[in-house]
Amino acid sequence: MKIGTPKEMYAGENRVAMTPSSVVQLKKLGHECLIESGAGDAAGFSDADYTSAGVMVVQSAADLWSSADVIVKVRQPLITELDLLSDNKTLITFFNPGGNEEGLSKAKTTGANVIAMEMVPRISRAQKMDALSSMANIAGYRAVIEASNNFGRFFTGQITAAGKVPPAKVLVIGAGVAGLAAIGTATSLGAQVYAFDVRPEVAEQIESMGAEFVFLEFEEAMQDGAETGGYAAPSSPEFREKQLEKFLEIAPEIDIVITTALIPNRDAPKLWLNNMLAVMKRGSVVVDLAAERGGNCDATVPDEKIVTESGVTVIGYTDFPSRMATQSSELYASNIRHMLHDLTPEKDGVIVHDMEDDVIRGATVAFKGDVTFPPPPPKVQAIAAKKPAAPEKTPEELAAEEAAAAKRAGGNQIALLVIGALLMFFIGQYAPASFMKHLIVFVLSVFVGFQVIWNVSHALHTPLMAVTNAISGIIILGALLQIGSSSVVVTVLASISVLIATINIVGGFMVTRRMLQMFQKS
C-alpha cells in the first residue's frame, strides 16, 4: 500500500511523521512511500533526502491524500483534511478523540479508519508505539534547556580563583516520562535536583537518577497512577494543602521549577502559586509543561514567556517537541513505523486492521463507519484486575514466616545428611576401599562447595553467576584434594581444573561488577 505524509497545517508545527530513515523500514514491509513537497523542510529533511530514500515527492496535499492508502500525520487534522478521507483509507495521527467530537463525527461519516497515536495502550508490548512518551521525553529534556537559556548562572557548582559558584537548585514537579527526562538532564548538567510526585513508587526512580525526593509528612496513602493510564490520580483537598505548604516552604531556595502535571482533556492543577513566585529569587525560572491546559503555575501564559514583577521568568511554551523537530520527527516516525509493522503482519504491503489485537483496538477511534472510542480495557489489564491483591503482612507475621522457613530448611538439611550417611554406609559394605575414598571426596566437595559459594549474597553476583560459581567451587575443592596424588596425570588434570574454575569464578564476579556499575552514578 501507499503510505503518504502531508505537510502539517498547524501553525508553527515543525515535525513530520515520516523521515528518510523510517522509509527504509516501511519499504521492508512492502509499502510505497509518498510525501508532500516541503513537508520535512522545517524538520531538516529536504525533498532530495526523501527522493534518495526512494520516496515519491507529491506537489500538492490534495494529490497526496487522493493517492495514499494510509495517511500519517503529527497534529490533529483539520476538518478540511478529514474531508479528503474515504472509506478505503486509514489515518494515523494524534487525534485527541476525547476533545474532538466534531472530528470523530466526520471520521464516522467518511467511513475511514482512524488510529489515534495518543490512545496506544500503555502496556509493555506497545511501548515501541508510545508516541506520548516519546514526545514527553523530548519535552522534559527541552524544558531544562529552555530553563538554562533563561537562567543567569551555571547549573553546575564550581570553585574558581574568583570564588565559589553554588550549583543551581532545580525542582521537578511530577515524575512521569517528562519529569524523569528533566531530572536526568538537569542532573547531567550538574544541578542539585529535587523532585516531587504524589506516587510514592517513583521515589526510587528519582533517587536512582541522582535527585532527592521531596517527602510530605502526611498520613493519607498516595494514589497509584496505574489505574488511570499511568497518570497520577487527583489527591484530596487536605493532601493538596499540605503539598502547597511544602512548595511554599522550599520556594525561596529553588532556582528553577519545572512542572509536568498534565492529564489530557483536563484542566491542569495549579501547583506553583503567586505566593511561591513572590518568594523566589530574582532571576529564577519556571518552565510549565502543562501550559496547553492552563498551566500548573498561576502566572503561565500559553505560548509565551513572561517575567513577573518579582523578576521570575515563567515559560509557557506548548511546542517543546516541535522546538527539537529533527529529533522529535525521528522518534515519532519510529513510533508510526512500529504501528505499521503491527498492521502489516505478513510484511507484504497489505494492511490488516485486526480489532482483536489489544494495541490496534485500543488506538482505533473510528473503524468502517463506526466510532470505536472509548476502547475497552486491554485484555491483559482486565485479567490482571481479576487477581485479588494479596493482603499486606505485618512485620511480626513476616518474621514468623522467615523463622518457620529457616526451621524447615534446617530440618531438610539434617534429613539429607542422615540419608547421605546411611547411603554411604551401605555402599561401603560392598564397594572397595579405593572407590569409597574417591566417592567421599566427591560428596564432600559437592556439599562444602555448594554451601560456601551458594550462600554468598546476590548483592555480589547475579543469581545465574551464583549457580555457575557454586559448580566451580565444587570443582576447585575436589581438584585441590587430588593435587597431592601420586599419579602425575591426576595432579596435572587437577591443577588444570583449579585454574579453569578459578578463571570462571573471578570472571563471573568481574562481569557482575560491570553490570552493577551500569546502574551507578559516576
Q: What is the pLDDT of residue 231?
A: 64
Q: What is the pLDDT of residues 359-383, one digit of tens each?
A: 999 999 999 999 999 998 877 554 4
The single-letter DSSP state of residue 19 is -
H/E run at residue 58: strand 56-58
Q: What is the pLDDT of residues 274-324, one digit of tens each?
A: 999 999 999 999 999 999 999 999 999 999 999 999 999 999 999 999 999
Letter for the amino acid at 127? Q
| Catalytic positions | 122, 127, 130, 133, 231
Count CB-CB contacts under 10 A for residue 197.
Answer: 24
Name the residue with higher pLDDT: 324 or 218.
Answer: 324
* Rounded Cα distance, 354 and 47, in Å: 34
Pairing between strand 364-367 and 90-93? Answer: unpaired
Angle, helix 325-343 to helix 131-150, in steps of 10 degrees:
170
Q: What is the pLDDT of residue 383?
A: 45
pLDDT for residue 191 is more than 80: yes
Lowest mean pLDDT among 346-350, 358-362, 390-394: 390-394
* Rounded Cα distance, 94 and 294, in Å: 20
Residue 322 to residues 11, 296, 313, 354, Cα–Cα distance (Å): 11, 21, 21, 32
**SS3 (DSSP) at 484:** coil
DSSP 318-364: S-TGGGGHHHHHHHHHHHHHHHHHHH-TTSSS-----TTSHHHHHHE
3-state per-residue secondary structure call for 275-317: HHHHHCCCCCEEEECCHHHCCCECCCCCCCEEECCCCCEEECC
**SS3 (DSSP) at 485:** coil
* Rounded Cα distance, 92 and 114, in Å: 6
Q: What is the pLDDT of residue 478?
A: 78
Lowest mean pLDDT among 160-164, 206-210, 428-432: 428-432
3-state per-residue secondary structure call for 176-242: CHHHHHHHHHHHHCCCEEEEECCCHHHHHHHHHCCCEECCCCCCCCCCCHHHHCCCCCCCCHHHHHH
Burial group, residue 186, by CB count within 10 angstroms (0-12, 13-18, 19+): buried
How far from each other are the two terminal CA atoms of the chain, in whole angstroms? 49
* Rounded Cα distance, 165 and 157, in Å: 5
C-alpha 57: how far from its chain's center?
A: 35
Q: What is the pLDDT of residues 330-342, one digit of tens each?
A: 999 999 999 999 9
Angle, helix 433-454 to helix 395-428, in steps of 10 degrees:
170
Q: What is the pLDDT of residue 447?
A: 72
pLDDT for residue 463 is more than 70: no
Residues of the chain above pLDDT 90, percent:
63
* Rounded Cα distance, 4 and 66, in Å: 10
Q: What is the pLDDT of residue 381?
A: 53
Mean pLDDT, the chain, whole residue set: 88
The single-letter DSSP state of residue 91 is E
Name the residue with higher pLDDT: 130 or 400.
Answer: 130
pLDDT for residue 385 is more than 60: no
Pair 427, 436: CB distance under 8 Å:
yes
Pair 398, 391: CB distance under 8 Å:
no
Whose CA is closest to 269, among 322, 205, 219, 223? 223
Pairing between strand 305-307 and 113-116? Answer: unpaired
Q: How many CA atoms lie within 13 A of 234 on its CB side?
A: 8
* Rounded Cα distance, 184 and 324, in Å: 18
Residue 221 — very low, low, confident or very high, per pLDDT cuts 50/70/90? very low
Letter for the amino acid at 143? A
